[in-house]
Structure 1
Amino acid sequence: MNLHQLREQRATAVQGMKTLVDAATAAGRDLSAEEIQKFDTLKTEERALSAQVERAEYLGEVERRAAGTPVSGAPSADFDRLAGSVSVTKVIRAQMEGRSLDGAEAEYAREAERRSGRKAEGAFVPFNSLEKRANTTATAPELVGTDHRADQYIGPLREALLARSLGIRVLSGLRGNVSIPKYGSGLETGWVTEGQPVPEGQMTFDQVTLTPKHVGGKTEMSRQMIQQSAPGIEQLVREDLSALIAKQIDRAIINGTGLLGEPLGILQTPGIQTVADVPATWAEVLAMLEMLDDVEIQNGRWLTTAAIRTALAAAEKVAGSGSGFLYDNGAMAGLSLAASKSVPTGKLILGDFSQVMLGVWSEVDLLVNPYAEPAYSRGGIQVRAMATVDTAVRHPEGFVVATAAVGG
């Protein structure tokens, strides 16, 4: 039996004892002889399981040390699988009820704290939840009902979260500040005749740095909604909380200012290539591609606004020639093109998004406050989600940015 199963069984035993006590308390009486016997049986079972869990945890830690597994290293396959078992609503419900986490949620939180080197204010949940498409639950009653299909809930539209799907590099499990060496200049080569010295140069190096920056948001949820077990509630809660963080990270990756605790984004990074205007002809599209080719960047993709994408889809390659349109079937010049509200108005970005690094120091940290106003007065709870990340561009010349003329 693995560690996760042992913890689940222990949690079941604890819940069984709690159910017996709660039932007797609600009836205004003590436990009956039969209930006392059941309680003692569950207590013995819980103690035995706790001992097995302790032994399993100890052996697991010894094995990790023996294998040389770094505490702050990249997530293992086991850790990734564990993340997929975490229930956000269980984490929130445990904080609402003032009890400790158990099962996969407790195991994940402990491992995340060990890897990040810090104690969560509330409880860690998987950072990869930010990959989800976001919807919201505006009112709880629509999510509860005898014949209700919560899995078919239709929420208001939110912008798609695209930056991470474009292929940026994610560095997780970070602890201190990060400095990554980068080649600068100075290496010289050339042809020589017999007996002549080869060209000589002095190599120089640069560095790309990442430092922790914090992002967070708050949302209000109905107490009843969190306690309901209808299908789809877990997904809705996860997506609502994820959107609070992911939207801000997306915007920072694309256009972060680097000021007031915000990361420095692609558009604000010194050294990116620029052109005067968004292309309106095929020749202008090819000119932007040539700028990437000149710096030997091969993995280009386009990112822009919906308005510019519409304009590109209406612009012929050569006006009046019937040669087709600049943007067609999801691509321009054979490279995929995506649109996002996180891109500032009038901007078209062409680049290799694997040149962007997203450093992650902290998993998503959830903290539940059942007493915050005005949520408390309405019987709801306030949930705060925070993460600690930073972004940097390895080679700014790997991006070409076009800016539409005023009114374009």
Structure 2
Amino acid sequence: MLESVKIARRQSEIRQALAGLVGKSDPSEDETRSMETLDAEYRSNEIRYRGALIAEDAERREAKDDLETRSERDFAELINRFELRQVALALDEGRQLDGATAEVVQEMRSQGGYRGVPVPWAALERRAGETVAAGVPDPIQTRPIIDRLFPDSVAARMGAQMINIDSGAIEWPVVTSAVSAGWASGETANVAGPTAFTTTDRPMKPDHNLGIQMRLTRKTLKQSGAALEQAVRRDMNGAIATELDRAIFLGTGADGEPLGVITGAATYGITSTDDTLNLATWGAFRSAVVRFMTGNTAGSPSAVRALIRPELWAVLDGAAIEPLNETEWDRLLRNIPAGNIAMSANALADPTGDPLETESLLTTAAGGVSPIFVGAWGGVDMIRDPYSDAQSGGLRITALTTVDVTVARPSQLQLIIGIKLELAA
């Protein structure tokens, strides 16, 4: 109990005692001495009370940061104990949620509307120590799995930042003006005139809904037990990660898809350069890196990230440079670290043309600002369908999420097109 509260309670007791003594018309000597003692104690306690309030106020100020962040840490700890198995059983059997899972669901429902059971994005992490089985989950046969949601996704490796949005649309004002300094040309001359400071809004709107469907057979629900947790998480993780990677870069902006970075390069204002060399070389990437550095968006080649097709890697690795005893791929790795290169056949379109040509996207983070923003509205909405597979006792689960994509600064991205994978016939 706080010291100030203890003193306040004692002061209340003293006032009650004094009220009883003062009400007597002819108090005895003992009662008079008691009144004097209580009065002295009351005045002394007033000083102690003020001192206790000052000390406790200092303690509150010191603990302010901890108090402000404690709720976020507590919620993160609840998500770590979130069980997707409970969600599946609640959708199938109507079983009541309990423990941390029930608390997280209740909190998410209070923040936004969900038709089914809300699932936080962080709950889709593949957690350390869990195991999964091949095919139908089997608690007897176990294998290790990866750790987190989208740890190796192309979007994450290219520096995209995922932002959680509670509701409504959101805009990111990005500076587009080129404010420059100027010297005064003489003793009484003025410096350079004012340059307008302008920004452009990069909006994200909840217009794009991504959904996946799962079919859980009766055998799976009855046989797998706790292993169903890992199986559902694994399948949801893989399906969402694969489609998000494709849509972030190749989304058409039509038929419900967001406008992808590569597809919408012209719309976003991203510089697109046609490689005119005879065959793919490090030179095409070097030119883009130079444009980054001259535009003050990258300080060195190691700050650049590259997205390429596996076919391009094969060409670069097979292009030997004599007499240096190295390949074009070796030259690329000397400047752009291997950890900054993402190879994907999903996030880049298939090579086309005759001769075959491909493309590559380069990004960099300038001033701590990510080149790509991926907005996700709320969590994953899990909706049950017990009717479609009712004859076999199965259950269908639909997982819905709302996602949009936008580019922060176009100068933080470079698109190289027309990279030749073979020579003309």
Length-normalised TM-score, structure 1: 0.70
- 2:271 maps to 273
Does the 8 Å CA contact 1:122/1:365 hold for their aligned counterparts? yes
- 1:20 maps to none
- 2:39 maps to none
After TM superposition, give the deviation of residue 96 of structure 1 in Å: 0.6
After TM superposition, give the deviation of residue 190 of structure 1 in Å: 0.8
- 1:343 maps to 348
Paired residue type of 1:174: D
Q: Distance in 2 between matches of 1:380 and 1:407?
A: 49
- 1:307 maps to 311
Q: Distance in 2 between matches of 1:121 and 1:307?
A: 44
Q: Does 1:197 align with 2:197?
A: no
Equivalent position to 2:244, from 244, 249, 253: 249
Paired residue type of 1:378: S
Q: Does 1:379 align with 2:381?
A: no
Larger radius of gyration: 2
Q: Distance in 1 between matches of 2:142 and 2:215?
A: 19
Per-residue CA deviations over 1:105-129 (Å, capped at 9, x if unaligned) read: 11111222333xx222111122135
Per-residue CA deviations over 1:376-403 (Å, capped at 9, x if unaligned) read: 3333211111111211100112111222
Q: Distance in 1 between matches of 2:153 and 2:113?
A: 28
Q: Does 1:395 align with 2:409?
A: yes
Length-normalised TM-score, structure 2: 0.67
- For the residue of structure 1 that corresponds to 2:199, the secondary structure is strand
- 1:87 maps to 83
Does the 8 Å CA contact 1:330/1:337 hold for their aligned counterparts? no
Q: Distance in 1 between matches of 2:161 and 2:376?
A: 11
- For the residue of structure 2 that corresponds to 1:189, the secondary structure is coil
Aligned pairs, number: 324
- 2:372 maps to 356
Among the aligned pairs, what percent are the same residue? 26
Does the 8 Å CA contact 2:92/2:384 hold for their aligned counterparts? yes
- For the residue of structure 2 that corresponds to 1:94, the secondary structure is helix
Equivalent position to 2:113, from 88, 112, 119: 119
Q: Distance in 1 between matches of 2:421 and 2:176?
A: 39
Q: 1:227 to 1:352 in 2, by over 3 A?
A: farther
Per-residue CA deviations over 1:197-228 (Å, capped at 9, x if unaligned) read: 12222232211111112111112122332344
| 1:286-301 → structure 2 map (5 Å cutoff) | 286-298=286-298, 299-301=303-305
| 1:120-269 → structure 2 map (5 Å cutoff) | 120-129=114-123, 139-140=135-136, 143-144=137-138, 148-151=140-143, 161-185=153-177, 187-192=179-184, 193-200=186-193, 201-212=195-206, 213-229=208-224, 232-267=227-262, 268-269=264-265
Unaligned segments of structure 2, at least 5 residues: 1-63, 146-150, 351-357
- 1:327 maps to 329
Unaligned segments of structure 1, at least 5 residues: 1-66, 154-158
- 2:382 maps to 366
Does the 8 Å CA contact 1:174/1:359 hold for their aligned counterparts? no
Q: Distance in 2 between matches of 1:371 and 1:252?
A: 31
